[in-house]
Structure 1
Amino acid sequence: MSPHRIALLFNANKVYDRQVISGIGQYLKSTRVEWDLFMEEDFRCRTLGIQHWRGDGIIADFDDPAVAETLTHLPMPVVAVGGSYADDSQYPPNTPYVATDNTKLVRLAYDHLIAQGLQRFAFYGLPPSPGNRWAHERETAFLQMIDADGLEGMVYRGSPTSAGGWGRAQEDMVAWVKSLPKPIGVIAVTDARARQLLQACVVADVPVPEQIAVVGIDNDPMAQLLSRIPLTSVTQGAEEMGRMAAQVLHQMLHGGDCTNTRVLVPPVGINVQASSLHQPMRSPHVMRARHYIRQYACLGIKTEQVADYVGISRTLLEEHFKRELKQTVHQTILEHKLEMARAMLEDSSIPLADVAVRCGFTSLQYMYAVFRREFNCTPRQFLSMARA
């Protein structure tokens, strides 16, 4: 019996789509189902000619309205994957649908910011467009939560991301960041938008997370790599969505009636990093200093450079640090470097020498000496104990 020919119509250049595809692959391996899979070579999602494709079934991203419109009436099993909707009429008719639960994604981010003691909140979304309906659902969920708590929520949609208009878009975002009442927690509709927001905070010289605490959605490793400040992010259940979509299609290929199947997949959890760990600071000098340290600690900065940035003497800055944080500026810099090193040690593909250099230690030997002094163990031993 020849394997079923299945088309996967996703934009696999996006982390969310790749995770869905990964979940499909996990289902195939765990069940030993044999499918002959078709995907575009460059990982883009194109529907051109799909009506003439001689296959047995399709799993597709229905957040793309062009895909949804093209596939709705195809005479073969189709499983839709996309965002959830509060209004049931927004789902495609007579099509099984596996959805990420947009309300729960936002709820997890919102509850986390509340737990940090924040009382003001904003949402950084996307401009309205047919392909951004999922973003509008997240924005609406945010506003409903704010309204239920009797608070006023601010929404900023910004501009579409394009190289030509990026300069103006960033200027507008910096102006919005400066205009926000502070302290405030901001939920970004994706990690990509969260990264833009963190950049705007750096340009605007607004401390994160003391004055603006940021949470993204996707837990995208690329966003982490490109951000100076580690980003807190909600992890979608995208792999589970892929597994569920594959399971539904498998049932349909064997005669199952899944026409009215609808599955809402909750988020996996939240990866908490520095961007959202709001700690109220009495001293504006400490607030500015920590903002600078988060950006440049791994570049080998010294206490004098931090004091110069803040605009006060080293002695006075040390007094503020001891009063507010019960530690010196140097200890705060070292603490940040060790935090970054511990995070990098999680990736066994990164050589220890590279970890030392990228975290601002003068040599691998010096990093070993610091770990022994601070934790009484080597970096690898520390990682093993943390995992135990």
Structure 2
Amino acid sequence: MLHCSSQEVSRRRRLAKNGLTIDLLTDGLPPCPTTKRKAAPPEIIDAERSAYRDKVRDPDPDWPPDVRAVYCTCRERLFEMGLEAQEVTDNLGIRNHNIYSRFRYFTGQRIKEWIIQHRLRLAKRFLRRTSLSGTWIAFAVGYESSSGFCTTFKRREGCTPTAFREREEE
């Protein structure tokens, strides 16, 4: 249930893989014709992202500099499509494969798990506070497709985003 053509999805994925940030809310993506939900103004999504990001704790000053750098970069780029742990370490010039186990040691999670956890927390916040469709929420929190978002959400939360929203509204 995507809101854009397969060509547009392919273009967005290519751009994301090349490191370009795509703001799906101002990039001409029309509202979903199959639902009555409307797109939220970009400032609402930006405000929610910013408020959430501000609540993510700062890295401990006692952590090694490379772990702090990876953590801070992941936190800053948390909602970008195509964010990958390997890309983050490469962009920081960290060639030590030990960084993955060190990140896990200090945060308690793998880099990918940390990213997914925070994306899903923001998604649940959107589901509780807005009437955005699941597709809009998927894009707003950094997923490249609504199906990938729904699959991850269901695997982690035990229900679909729609069922979660209905349960929260009761």
TM-score class, shorter-chain normalisation, is 0.5 to 0.7
TM-score by length of 1: 0.29
Which aligned pairs between 1:189-338 and structure 2 lie closer than 5 A?
225-226=45-46, 230-231=50-51, 273-281=52-60, 282-299=63-80, 300-313=82-95, 315-338=97-120
Shift of the alpha carbon at 1:334? 1.3
Q: Distance in 1 between matches of 2:158 and 2:122?
A: 18
Contact 1:322 1:328 in 2 (8 A): yes
Note the C-alpha offset of 1:346. 2.5
Alignment of 1:115-126 (within 5 A): none
Partners of 1:352 and 1:275 lie apart in 2 by: 24
Q: Which protein has the bigger helix share?
A: 2
Structure 1 window deviating more from structure 2 (343-352 vs 372-381): it is 343-352
- Letter of the aligned partner of 2:105 in structure 1? R
Q: CA deviation at 1:384?
A: 4.1
Would the aligned equivalents of 2:153 and 2:159 in 1 still touch at CA under 8 Å?
Answer: yes
Alpha-carbon deviations, 1:46-81, whole Å to 9, x = none? xxxxxxxxxxxxxxxxxxxxxxxxxxxxxxxxxxxx
Residue ranges of structure 1 left out of the alignment (5+ in a row)? 1-220, 232-272
Query: Residues 283 and 324 of structure 1 are in contact (CA less than 8 Å); yes or no, is this contact kept in structure 2?
Result: no
Q: CA RMSD in A?
A: 2.8
Which residue matches 1:132? Answer: none
Please give the secondary structure, in 2, of the residue aligned with 1:311. coil
- Structure number with the higher strand fraction is 1
**In 1: Cα distance, 2:49 partner to 2:137 partner:** 17
* In 2, Cα distance between equivalents of 1:361 and 1:304: 17
Aligned residues: 127
Deviations 1:118-165 (A, max 9, x none): xxxxxxxxxxxxxxxxxxxxxxxxxxxxxxxxxxxxxxxxxxxxxxxx
Q: Which has the higher contact order (CA 8 A, sep 6+)?
A: 2
Q: Is the 8 A contact 1:298 1:359 kept in 2?
A: yes
- Alignment equivalent of 1:373, drawn from 140, 155, 165: 155
Percent of residue pairs identical: 21
Once residues 376 and 314 of structure 1 are traced to their aligned partners in structure 2, the CA distance between those partners, rounded to angstroms, is 36
Structure-2 separation of matches of 1:323 and 1:293: 16
Residue pair 1:228, 1:294 contacting (<8 A) in 2 also: no
Gaps of 5+ in 2: 1-40
Aligned to 2:31: none
Question: Which residue is 1:64 aligned to?
Answer: none
For residues 282-326 of structure 1, the C-alpha deviation after alignment (integer angstroms, 9 at most, x for no partner) is 233232222222232322211111102332126222021121112
1:306–1:228 Cα change, 3 Å: farther
